[in-house]
Amino acid sequence: MNLQERAKAIFKILKKQYQPKASDFVIWKKPLELVIATILSAQCTDKRVNIVTKTLFKKYRTAHDYANAPSAQLEQDIKSTVFYRSKAKYLKGVGEMLLCDFGGKVPNTFDDLMKLPGVSHKTANLIMAKLYQAGTGVAVDTHVMRLSQRMGLTKHHAQVKIETDLNALFASKDYLAVNELMILHGRAICMARSPKCLECPVKHLCPKRGTAYENKNAGIV
């Protein structure tokens, strides 16, 4: 079995194992809400982001609202997220740029999304997939990075290089699913610490099987 065949086999099993729901990730109803939520999710759990945005999205409804919000107030409103001062600057900057350059609307191209403050490769890929059903690339977060390395789907450590490797292994229509399935598997089984290798449905396809990861779970080490 070559690498692409193994990747497809892993994807098929994870797809059968998990059924991603909107509530598993950041919750949004409007394009601007998705942009804001994904920016806030950097280095922060989706659960925490959803707690914050439940109130935030009632208070700030348009690009104008973010652009004109006092920085200190924005910081206070998102204080329970990580790096809230930087993120407050991003949210205000997003509002200002949307008003100045995009008529207050979220742009519909990857390149334009990348111009927005706080929007990374990962963020732009997610927005393109969720808003416009466009597979521009696999969004590589910490879960995707960890799992793709453990599963031997990449030898790289840089997010952009990992994305390139994953893009070559999967169909563009599946890029969002790859991201979401790996996140769910990373939360449930393949955690950063003490992964449950013996319970893993893809352990027979994973080169980490039989290593210290599995041995530790078996009480061998």
- 124-151 residue pLDDT tens: 999 999 999 999 999 999 999 999 999 9
In CATH, the number for domain 3-20+139-217 is 1.10.1670.10
What are 18-64's pLDDT values in tens digits? 999 989 999 999 999 999 999 999 999 999 999 999 999 999 999 99
Q: How confident is the model at residue 94 (pLDDT cuts 50, 70, 90)?
A: very high
We find that the CATH architecture of domain 23-132 is: Orthogonal Bundle (1.10)
How sure is the predictor about 75, in pLDDT bands with cuts at 50, 70 and 90? Answer: very high
Q: Give the residue-averaged pLDDT of 156-175.
A: 97
Residue 185 neighbours by CB under 8 Å, 6+ apart: 14, 17, 18, 143, 147
Domain ranges (residues) in the chain? 3-20+139-217, 23-132
* CB count in 10 Å sphere of residue 73: 11
Phi, psi (deg, nearest 5) at residue 174? -105, 0
- What is the spatial distance between Cα 205 and Cα 192, in angstroms, rounded to a whole number? 19
Instruction: Supply the DSSP symbol for 205.
Output: G
**For the chain, counts of helices (H) and of strands (E):** 12, 0
pLDDT category of residue 221 using cuts at 50, 70 and 90? very low
Tell me if residue 155 falls in helix, strand or coil: coil
